[in-house]
Amino acid sequence: MKDVKEAFDVLASVEKHIEALKPLLPKQALVCIGEYPIKTLLKETGIRKQGTLPILIEKSSDEIYKWLPKGYPVHFILGFEDAKIDTHFWYNVLPTIANDDSVIESLKKKSVEKLHSAIIFSSIWDGIGSATLPTLIGKFKASNIDSLSIAILPSKIQPSDAHFNAYAALKLCLDTDGATVLLMDRDQIEGYEGIDRKGESIKGNMLGNYLLNLFLDKDSFVQEISELSRTFNVKLFTPLVIAGASYRIYGSFENMLNTALLKPFLTFDMPSATLLYVLLRMPLNMKDMLPRGRIELAITNWFKEKTSLQSIYITEPIYTEDMTDRIDAVLFLGGFDASKMLYGLEQKFKLLKAQAVEKGFMTEDWKVITKTEIEPKKEEITQNLDLLTETEEIKKKMNLKLKLLQ
């Protein structure tokens, strides 16, 4: 009996060891588009969440390789140097990226069936980010992969071409099925000062990594907010962020919300917001002190005087094992009236748009005019010439008949 038990224990140990050696199937893709998001991501030495596939996209793949710290785990890098196209404006890049399936193909090699979501982090003030963001959203949707996009708007001091590209990206995203876009203003990010769960300082775009790691900590996060976005047909969100807030110091969740309101990441019309999704991370030892239901009542009461929300969804908190009292929360506000923001962007690039339309790069309603649309195909030219020849023959015969009748 003893020998049988020992044999069983050995077998169980071997099976457990083999299971530990199996590679983890990737569940999420993390796509960074543009120099600003890529360098923000690379400030951290590695992706904390296992099973995440990092993909980096910029004008030059050679430049990306120069930025990478030694041993940094990147799944796929895409540069546009071989495409031999101008990349300054969105309409230069869009036809190329629309026909490029290399990102999806690379994910298929890692078993795209197992990938349930993607987070796309993009600056949208250059041609690459502006065109690639909405295009990838559409490609992920076609592959049944939910996505959340973090779109960084240009600074107010950036020139008009940056605002032209940003506006185009938003227009394209609003026309793209499956788009769930979190808007953040570059000026607000750069001016941010806060603390993390360890009580250490967070400044500027360090917040980007902090948010990404929070988003990646919850497997169901992207699926949940994507479903909410589809259900209410809301595509644009902006966050209120609570980072590393000590419950003992603040005294209540309402006080944390009041502080977060002082540090918005977008100038927007809060009273017009209709939808709220809340992502929470807190110590397990606070679960009984601050249950999810109590947080929901506090948030509902806080928003009562500020806007009439159609729906509030507070996801099950991410519970940590640390013994602090620090809470992280991101409140995704959606459905707000974005017309004023879009109008403000539009006023900065009227001349650029007029020039692009005049030169035949785009239409007034933001459609790209491709070369094939400008230049008719050879077969069409031949058909037109044949038709012209036939018409001339008919005219000659008609003239002959008219002369005979005379």
Mean pLDDT score, 271-294: 95
Q: Is the pLDDT of residue 379 over 90?
A: no
Q: Among the listed ranges 53-62, 83-92, 125-134, 380-389, which one has the minimum average pLDDT value?
A: 380-389
State whether residue 188 is helix, strand or coil: helix
Give how far Cα 282 sits from Cα of 6, 35, 104, Å.
43, 32, 35
Mean pLDDT score, 161-169: 97
Contact indicator for 110, 52 with CB cutoff of 8 Å: no
What pLDDT does residue 406 have?
40
pLDDT band per the 50, 70, 90 thresholds, residue 305 = confident
Q: Is the pLDDT of residue 7 over 80?
A: no
Q: Is the pLDDT of residue 362 over 60?
A: yes
Sequence letter at residue 367 = K
Sequence-separated (6 or more) residues with CB below 8 Å from residue 126: 34, 59, 87, 88, 162, 165
pLDDT band per the 50, 70, 90 thresholds, residue 4 = very low
- Enter the pTM of the model: 0.85
Mean pLDDT score, 235-256: 96
CB-based burial, 6-24: b 16+ in 10 Å, e otherwise: eeeeeeeeeeeeeeeeeee
Mean pLDDT score, 237-248: 96
Alpha helices in 178-290 (DSSP H): 186-190, 206-216, 221-232, 247-250, 253-261
Mean pLDDT score, 233-247: 97
pLDDT band per the 50, 70, 90 thresholds, residue 195 = very high
Q: Which range, 159-163, 322-326, 344-348, has the best average confidence (pLDDT)? A: 159-163
What pLDDT does residue 252 have?
93
The mean of the pLDDT values for the chain is 86
Give how far Cα 248 sits from Cα of 18, 325, 358, Å.
46, 7, 61
Report which DSSP code applies to 361: S
Distance, in Å, from the CA atom of 213 to the CA atom of 197, rounded to the nearest integer, reads 12
What pLDDT does residue 131 have?
97
Rg (C-alpha) for the chain, rounded Å, is 27
pLDDT band per the 50, 70, 90 thresholds, residue 383 = low
Mean pLDDT score, 71-90: 90
What pLDDT does residue 46 have?
56
